[in-house]
A and B are shown apart, each in its own frame.
Chain A
Amino acid sequence: MENDDINLVVNATNTNAVTGGNVLDEGRVGTNGLQTKGIHVWFGKHHVLEDISLDFPANSVTGLIGPSGCGKSTFLRVLNRMHEFIPGAAMAGEVFLDGEEIYGPKVDVTAMRLKVGMVFQKPNPFPSMTIAENVLAGLKLANIKVQDKDSLLEECLTRAGLWKEVKDRLKLSGSSLSGGQQQRLCIARALAVKPKVLLMDEPCSALDPASTLKVEETIVQLSADMTIVVVTHNMQQAARVSDFCAFFLSDGGPGQVVEADRTAVIFSSPSDQRTADYVQGRFG
């Protein structure tokens, strides 16, 4: 029963969390999107995440919130196996993308990461490449041939909300842009390989408020046809952009999900007192 409590998608038999039960489209539930089951993570002997089971329905935005050090970013990295580059990191549990296990023995990790893109906390365009080359870098890295590069370039930059600002200087270095523009360039770069899922690790924490707003608009627009998971420390941001929220907390031990539900519920009538305290800014 405890697992069901922290399940994000609440199906018909579980009336525990979603009041009214009117939001979730039946079609979204099931094998579409991203599911995790019983995720544990260790760094060496240190147990950092304990038994996380969350479902991320297709074409929605899920915010991961919680105080620093509770394992949100680590959990995000488990979703595209980027945690494997951290020395000493180990995990247990299962992650399904559209019903297929991404930790399966026959999975090609690089091919899987094409489907699960990632945007990092600090904008990290490749400084040796131009703006256009940055957007198309993923294709080159994965050896994907595209017929019409120009239209893909325009499409990705438009979706990332950057096209108008850079269309006349596509040949300039990616590092010539401002921080906010660089972050949207990174989003465009992630979109070029047509991922089904986009993971974002505090994508706005290094940006000014105006740039933050633009990135948030981009997130909302993108969620029309992709699954987005965003880690954020900004409660207003979580309220503005996300459809669902999961509240992570570590009380000295490994991080756990205290509560996961529709964003409106998390912010208005959370079932756990700790969630209420956190979203109202009483700690963390």
Chain B
Amino acid sequence: MSRNRLGRPPAYLLLPAGLAVALLLVPLASLVARAPFGSLLERLAAPEVLDALWLSLWTATAAMLASLVLGLPLAWLLARVEFPGRSLVRTLVTVPLVLPPVVAGVALLTAFGRTGVVGAPLRELGVTIPFTSTAVVIAHTFVALPFFVISVEGALRATSQDYDEVAAVLGARRGAIFRRVTVPLAAPGIAAGLVLGWARSLGEFGATITFAGNYPGVTQTMPLAVYTLLQEDLEAAVALSLVMLLVSVVVLALLRERWFGQAAR
């Protein structure tokens, strides 16, 4: 139809597009090809690996709970309420997206470290954060919260405010509108934001190793385990990387409907 009218896609577009696909595909395919399939199960069942996997899963989930509790109200505020400094706050939310994660780790140390702005008073109370799983959750939340907030704010903006207004006309108070109208309408966006943030948490490396340290079972998440193993046992590192790759694919499958479904339309 329209394809015939427009003619064949030109080679000078097809070629770079093909190269782009190759650039993304070749390293991933090589990773799979290099995996030690013979000893894969045995390697993945090693206690350190299971510890790292479990730690990664629960800290990423805890970070998403924190993102939900803190990020949903913030996203709502940004989408629905006019307030001075709103664009400033929105910019602030995007900073961790572009900040190198190691820098995020250093920043977290200066805030929550034992001599940090918040960390020093906490230490007086007998609480130290670095080298604990709590530090991992804080690092994950710091880097993943922007993904969640931006995703949810977009979803809130996409759903019309008219429904909120109708509910208000019918006598609902703003808190009730938020709970019973706004959030249900934005639920798919909230779910997508959670999955996206969760995936970002799972891949977090720089901020975690800088701020939380690296100890098996306590702060050594999957990416840290891969990096540590890489020093001595490439095959084991590849085996672990394969698990991370698998998780990424599952996350993409979960998000497919939302993203690729829309893009195809």
The finding on whether chains A and B are genuine partners in a shared complex, rather than unrelated, reads no
* Interface positions of A (Cβ within 8 A of B): none
